[in-house]
């Protein structure tokens, strides 16, 4: 502070920093819980929807309210008014319906991973941003989080939110940054930001900044130990650094389960880093559902259990909640309008229901059905036809599938509009399905193995090659390179 005259005082950066940091560096604060952090005016000052609060309480192991009926349950489209439940009553209801893997509404612990299957417009992106801000707050409270977690000095701790595209990543980044920048508590800790990242200082960083300015008269290093980032969903983009919190926003829609932008690839690439932080690490898989396949559906099945005797993975906390429960402000009029606009996708996008595999790829699966002529005849392949085989490999949980077909030319009757709608006989090509086989780990030939033995499938395919005229064999790209190479060596068109 420089005194210029009795009425005018000039504040320098150094003087402001001294006044702000002296108390902050030495202050020991008591950590508040996430609900308080979200709603208190000193922190985020953001009121939560009742179901958002309910989800956060269970994820962080906080006791549920069994007195106040704040959660509105409205079974669309049957009950527009609905009824109010306590948090505990709502938990018991979800348990009864199988829409959570919670075993008990009273005795539960904080979980590492959240698998949230929910409808659009439910506020799931806000939940992701709130968790990001809260975990950054907890890191700052530790004073020197790198030392606390036994990390190398200067190692940046990352909180990463991966979204389906650059535009969505920027939107999530903007939401997270606004929460942090508008918080009174975070004011001293913000070092800087760009479109996709906000950089935060710890109490130790503030001490280093103060010492550097006192010693050199200027700042030589920005000293930001925490980075809160939002990126597009590529495994390359997310790799690097030490990730404490990983949020996979709309994981079910991470492109196509192949290559670099695959949900499976990204999940496997990013999640090991979380182990550095033990029970403090967080993985949030939040998405509206898609088809019954891919990493998000696998996580859903793993968390809830794959059969009646399986309680599921209790390190994961799973909820399946439609839009009209997540956000009580969504009107039935809006839902009716969305259902009329796109009835095929309404149950997945708003009802939080996984669709069949066919529905996942085809907008009108009934059109596929119209092309199929079913027969009770047991088909026996003959050498007079040329056969085509399609193979979809898998190594563990999903089935390893094979289909063999041939084309026959059959007479059909059709209406000829050019000849006064007269019925005429035509010959058309018909695809006949000869073989359809799926191998799973439950099959006796795998004898309790943890993986599908590809040699068994290879023997089956070789038997078909020896028995029939095979025109071509096509594989899905997943784990198929060696199988194709072996077939080509046998002069098979693969």
Which range of residues forms the domain containing residue 116? 34-349
Answer yes or no: is pLDDT of 379 > 70: no
Residue 381 confidence class, pLDDT cut points 50, 70, 90:
low
Answer yes or no: is pLDDT of 116 > 50: yes
The pTM for the full model equals: 0.69
Instruction: Identify whether 473 is part of a domain.
Output: yes
Q: What percent of the chain has pLDDT over 90?
A: 35
- Which one of 323, 349, 375 terminates a domain? 349
Asked if 463 and 331 sit in the same domain, the reply is no
Instruction: State the average pLDDT over residues 72-93.
Output: 91
Asked if 122 and 177 sit in the same domain, the reply is yes
Asked if 82 and 194 sit in the same domain, the reply is yes
- Mean pLDDT of all residues belonging to the chain: 82
Asked if 240 and 169 sit in the same domain, the reply is yes
Instruction: Identify whether 260 is part of a domain.
Output: yes
- Which one of 349, 372, 397 terminates a domain? 349
Could you tell me which residue, 364 or 215, shows the higher pLDDT? 215
Instruction: Identify whether 2 is part of a domain.
Output: no
Residue 259 confidence class, pLDDT cut points 50, 70, 90:
very low
pLDDT given at position 14: 47
Q: What percent of the chain has pLDDT over 70?
A: 84
Could you tell me which residue, 332 or 28, shows the higher pLDDT? 332
pLDDT by residue (tens digit) across 191-242? 888 888 899 999 898 888 788 777 777 767 778 889 998 887 764 555 556 8
pLDDT by residue (tens digit) across 143-195? 999 999 998 888 899 999 888 777 778 888 888 999 999 999 999 999 888 88
Print the SS3 string covering the chain: CEECCCCCEECCHHHHHHHHHHHHHHCCCCCCCHHHHHHCCCCCCCCCCHHHHHHHHHHCCCCCCCCCCCEEECCCCCCCCCEEECHHHHHHHHHHHCCECCCCCCCCCCCCEEEEEECCCCCHHHHHHHHHHHHHHHHHHCCCHHHHCCCCCCCCEEEEEEECCHHHHHHHHHHHHHHHHCCCCCHHHEEEECCCEEEECCHHHHHHHHHHHHHHCCCCCCCCCEEEEEEECCHHHHCCCEEEEEEEECHHHCCCCCCCCCHHHHHHHHHHHHHHHHHHCEEEEEECCCECCHHHHHHHHHHHCCCCCCCCCCCEEEEEECHHHHCCCCCHHHHHHHHHHCHHHHHHHCCCCCECHHHHHCCCHHHHHHCCCCCCCCCCCCCCCEEEEEEECCCCCCCEEEEEEEEEEEEEEEEEHHHCCEEEEEEEEEEEEEEEEEECCCCHHHCCCCCCCHHHHHHHHHHHHHHCEEEEEEECCCCCHHHHHHHHHCCCCC
Asked if 343 and 402 sit in the same domain, the reply is no
- Which one of 290, 320, 349 terminates a domain? 349
pLDDT by residue (tens digit) across 346-361? 888 899 888 765 554 5
Answer yes or no: is pLDDT of 311 > 50: yes
Residue 295 confidence class, pLDDT cut points 50, 70, 90:
confident
Answer yes or no: is pLDDT of 4 > 50: no
pLDDT given at position 442: 76
What CATH number has the domain bearing residue 201?
A: 3.40.50.300
Asked if 425 and 335 sit in the same domain, the reply is no
Answer yes or no: is pLDDT of 77 > 70: yes
pLDDT given at position 368: 66
Asked if 300 and 434 sit in the same domain, the reply is no
Instruction: Identify whether 358 is part of a domain.
Output: no
Asked if 326 and 474 sit in the same domain, the reply is no
Answer yes or no: is pLDDT of 434 > 70: yes
Residue 1 confidence class, pLDDT cut points 50, 70, 90:
very low
Asked if 285 and 410 sit in the same domain, the reply is no
Asked if 318 and 398 sit in the same domain, the reply is no
pLDDT given at position 235: 46
Instruction: Identify whether 223 is part of a domain.
Output: yes
Instruction: State the average pLDDT over residues 324-353.
Output: 89
Instruction: State the average pLDDT over residues 329-344.
Output: 88
Asked if 173 and 260 sit in the same domain, the reply is yes
Residue 34 confidence class, pLDDT cut points 50, 70, 90:
very high
Domain count, the chain: 2
């Amino acid at each position: 502070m420089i005194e210029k005259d009795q009425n005018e005082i000039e504040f320098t950066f150094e003087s402001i920093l001294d006044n702000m940091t002296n108390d902050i560096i030495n202050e020991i604060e008591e950590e508040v819980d996430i609900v308080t952090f979200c709603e208190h005016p000193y922190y985020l000052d953001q009121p939560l929807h009742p179901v958002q609060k309910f989800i956060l309480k269970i994820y962080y192991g906080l006791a549920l309210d069994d007195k106040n009926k704040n959660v509105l349950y409205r079974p669309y489209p049957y009950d527009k008014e609905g009824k109010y439940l306590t948090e505990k009553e709502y938990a018991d209801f979800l348990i009864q319906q199988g829409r959570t893997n919670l075993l008990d509404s009273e005795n539960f612990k904080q979980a590492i991973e959240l698998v949230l299957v929910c409808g659009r417009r439910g506020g799931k992106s806000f939940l992701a941003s709130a968790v990001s801000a809260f975990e950054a707050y907890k890191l700052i409270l530790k004073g020197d989080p790198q030392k606390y977690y036994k990390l190398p000095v200067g190692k940046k701790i990352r909180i990463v939110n991966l979204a389906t595209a650059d535009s969505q990543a920027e939107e999530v980044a903007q939401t997270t940054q606004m929460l942090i920048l508008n918080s009174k508590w975070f004011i001293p800790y913000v070092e800087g930001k760009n479109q996709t990242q906000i950089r935060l200082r710890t109490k130790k960083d503030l001490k280093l900044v103060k010492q550097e300015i006192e010693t050199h008269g200027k700042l030589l290093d920005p000293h930001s130990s925490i980075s809160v980032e939002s990126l597009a969903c590529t495994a390359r983009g997310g790799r690097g650094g030490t990730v404490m919190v990983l949020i996979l926003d709309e994981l079910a829609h991470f492109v196509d389960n192949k290559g670099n932008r695959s949900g499976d690839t990204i999940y496997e690439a990013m999640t090991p880093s979380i182990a550095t932080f033990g029970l403090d690490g967080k993985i949030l898989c939040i998405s509206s559902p898609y088809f019954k396949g891919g990493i998000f559906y696998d996580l859903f099945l793993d968390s809830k259990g794959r059969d009646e005797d399986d309680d599921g993975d209790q390190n994961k906390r799973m909820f399946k909640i439609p839009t009209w429960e997540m956000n009580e402000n969504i009107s039935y009029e809006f839902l009716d309008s969305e259902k009329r606009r796109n009835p095929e996708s309404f149950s997945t996008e708003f009802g939080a229901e996984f669709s069949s595999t066919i529905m996942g790829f085809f907008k009108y699966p009934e059109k596929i059905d119209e092309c199929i002529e079913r027969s009770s005849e047991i088909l026996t392949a003959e050498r007079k036809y040329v056969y085509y085989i399609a193979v979809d490999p898998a190594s563990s949980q999903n089935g390893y599938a094979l289909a063999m077909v041939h084309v026959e030319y059959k007479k059909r009757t059709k209406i000829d509009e050019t000849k006064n709608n007269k019925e005429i006989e035509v010959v058309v090509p018909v695809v006949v399905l000869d073989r359809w086989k799926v191998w799973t780990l439950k099959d006796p030939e795998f004898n309790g193995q943890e993986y599908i033995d590809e040699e068994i499938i290879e023997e089956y395919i070789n038997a078909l090659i020896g028995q029939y005229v095979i025109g071509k064999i096509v594989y899905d790209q997943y784990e198929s390179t060696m199988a194709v190479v072996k077939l080509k060596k046998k002069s098979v068109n693969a």
